[in-house]
Amino acid sequence: MTTTTRNNPGAAGAAPDPGAAPAEKTYWCELAWLNGTVEPHVALEVTAQGRLGAVRRDVEAPPPGATVLRGLTLPGLANAHSHAFHRALRSTVQVGSGTFWTWRDAMYQTASRLTPDTYYTLARAVYAEMALAGITCVGEFHYLHHAPGGARYDDPNAMSHALVAAAADAGIRITLLDTAYLAAGIGPKGRGEPPNRQQLRFSDGTAEAWAERAAAFRPEGGHVRVGAAVHSVRAVPARQLRTVAQWAEERGAPLHVHLSEQTAENEACESVHGMTPTALLAEHGVLSPRTVAVHATHLTDDDIRQVGRTGTGVCMCPTTERDLADGIGPAPALDRAGATLSLGSDSHAVIDLFEEARALELDERLASRTRGHWTAGQLLRAATEGGQAALGWPEASRLETGALADFTTVALDSVRTAGPVARLAAETAVFAATAADVRHTVVAGRHVVRDGAHTLVDSVPHALTGAISALRP
């Protein structure tokens, strides 16, 4: 199978690799969130290796030549769960009613029109939108591997390369979570139903073939790391789960999995295997401290204890979970059980990690009719430290000496954020700010978003419009 060769976005004239070495510089923060507290007048000194050489408090005035960041500066936000091509569905799937499964049919139609070229163009625009929202790293849960009909491209990882190039040209880091998606459903005796026509381009046939292709993917650039994913117990037969888990274990790589997003998934798994999806994953070695369960919406008490015992993290995607009417997951119970929480925008109904963070709290308030399940600081940790760890970038989690120089600044003088005292800046960011209040995004010491404008993509709205229009029938 052949494919159009896209112009190499990493070639001359393209955006710089965010993992490459920047010039040394200093950023002066009006306010900075340091280890859970809001500190005034902080100088962040960036080394030529794109790390924080020093973090200095009580610097009353900007040092000569320093770049001034007005507002609250946070570690870079991490979008721990993304399907970039779902951005093309925004608004179009809000017409009429339906279920997750009718939404999925619309998603398949969009997926069927993507090529490596058009996926690069779309993903670059989507990742640029993320940078504008303060996101410095994305976890791309990637299963759109092959051409329509399932034939492999000349480069079997052409779609993966397109995503990695798109992230570089949008100026953010990426963890490419190469996803095993082999079956249409659990099927009789758990052997898996054959992929349907739309799913053929997702499937490598077997977990062994998936592992071989994934192992051959060797992306270049300091902005990219590679992990693995099990799409779900619906899409990977039980006997093949361990192959994916071992692939990740051998590489010390993150391993993500959609877990119990739908009650229909639970019912099918219990009917065939006599156990919940959580128990099935545990039995086949998928759950571990390196694993992140995405959604985890419909769990039993035993499931929650199993997630906690194994040290498995959980990525909540509240805006997608409510958009698709999936339900409200047991996040407080998972937190108490010991699961590290992270956040993702998933289907990109919106791309706004502040909205995801406050939705985690506010949705639970609706479900429980009580307030204060998490502090603003805990929610910010989920959006920063929790997400970076989930994606295999723990060195980007905090503003401290030696950390990657990845951070974002939220305006505190917009119509949404003006008024509160400085010591409440974290509460303001979580419970009032939106992505529109992000003024600066810095990755590896480089200014990717300056004063609310992307420095690498001339017009992100125009780029999104063009990329999405090209996919319409």
Catalogue the active-site residues: 295, 346
Q: Where are the beta strands (DSSP E) in 253-359?
A: 255-259, 291-295, 313-316, 341-343
User: Which of 267, 334, 349 is CA-nearest to residue 295?
Assistant: 334
What is the β-pairing status of strands 341-343 and 313-316? parallel
Q: What is the Cα–Cα distance from 76 to 89, expressed in whole angstroms?
A: 26
DSSP state of 394: G
What is the β-pairing status of strands 25-34 and 67-75? parallel
Coil, helix or strand at residue 268: helix
**Are the C-beta atoms of 152 and 144 separated by less than 8 Å?**
no
Q: What is the Cα–Cα distance from 264 to 324, expressed in whole angstroms?
A: 14
Q: What is the Cα–Cα distance from 169 to 120, expressed in whole angstroms?
A: 10
For residue 424, the tally of other CB atoms under 10 A from its CB is 15
* Radius of gyration in angstroms for the set of CA atoms belonging to the chain, rounded to a whole number: 21
Question: Who's near 85: CB < 8 A, 6+ residues apart?
Answer: 110, 111, 114, 119, 122, 123, 144
User: Which of 139, 128, 204 is CA-nearest to residue 176?
Assistant: 139
